[in-house]
Amino acid sequence: MTEILPGTKVDIRIQQEASRSMATGQEVQSFVSKVFDVLDDGSLELDVPSVGGKLVLLPLNIRYELIFSSKAGMRMGQVEIVQRYKRGNFYIMKAVLTSKIERFQRREYYRLQCALPSYFLPLDMDEKTILKLPSIHAMLQDNGNLRKDIGSCTILDLSGGGARFVSRKDIGDRPYVLLQFTIDEGNVKTNVELFGKILENKYDRPNDNHLYRVKFLYRDSEWQETIVKYIFEQQRRIRRKEQGDT
């Protein structure tokens, strides 16, 4: 609990619906909140979420799944909301933990629909060799001939487990790629380079495009945390816009 502090952002979902989404892959409604306070008994005070400027009074005494965006990374826990009240100008709900706060492990189920410009380099080598490769910049310095293999693409959806992207370039039978793209984390732009194993290469004849699906191969788990945090921040921003909140 030491990493869960007042001000920590929280996504709230009904636990039963969250479990169902794991089986079906369908999105479920999620509410944006944040931690107001951590009480001495270990329970949490959370801001009552709002939609379009109106408070959402979540039902009491049912289980919810909370996903925290903490400085230490993504964390998850289950709670019951047992009380709602007002303190000054703040509308608060008290949540009692029904599970431990644990590292978030469901990264692959949260997928961001997007249109993210990217570059990719097809690779024809074994996985162990790939995970020892340097950055794409260093690779191009060592072997300038690789430039002809680089293709531009657009990432259509992104998750902590992988991505789908589309390109006019056909990589043929090469089983791996190095994806390079930039994500915007607040006012900070982060250059991302991730290796991916090709799971699907489908030709879209009417649009003369190739649709690729890849599974990410991480050399450092911190990069997965970065991707998941980015996805949650983007989803939170989209929900706030759709709900009419700023």
Mean pLDDT, the chain, rounded, equals 86
Listed by start position, the domains of the chain span: 9-105, 109-234
Residue 152 has pLDDT above 90, yes or no: yes
Distance separating alpha carbons of residues 138 and 53, to the nearest angstrom: 50
Of residues 29 and 170, the one with the higher pLDDT is 170
Residue 201 has pLDDT above 70, yes or no: yes
Distance separating alpha carbons of residues 200 and 213, to the nearest angstrom: 5
Is-same-fold flag (9-105; 109-234)? no
Residue closest to 90 by CA, chosen among 35, 170, 171, 21 = 35
CATH for the stretch 9-105: 2.30.110
Q: What does the angle CA 66 – CA 164 – CA 230 come to, to the nearest 5 degrees?
A: 35
Q: Which residues contact 167 (CB under 8 A, 6 or more apart)?
A: 120, 151, 152, 153, 154, 209, 210, 212
Least confident of 20-34, 56-70, 76-90, 183-197: 20-34
For the record, the structure tokens of 176 come out as 């791996």
pLDDT in the model for residue 106 = 62
Q: What percent of the chain has pLDDT over 90?
A: 45
Distance separating alpha carbons of residues 46 and 60, to the nearest angstrom: 13
Q: Indicate the pLDDT class of residue 109, thresholds 50, 70 and 90.
A: low
- For CA atoms 220, 223, 225, 228, give the dihedral sign: negative
**3-state SS assignment for residue 111:** strand
pLDDT in the model for residue 215 = 94
* Architecture in CATH for domain 109-234: Beta Barrel (2.40)
pTM over 0.85: no
Task: Please write the tens of the pLDDT for every residue from 15-45.
Answer: 877 666 554 555 667 888 999 999 999 999 9
Of residues 213 and 105, the one with the higher pLDDT is 213
pLDDT in the model for residue 22 = 53
- Beta bridge mates, 116: 155
Burial of 148 (0-12, 13-18, 19+ CB in 10 A): exposed
Distance separating alpha carbons of residues 234 and 2, to the nearest angstrom: 26
pLDDT in the model for residue 241 = 72
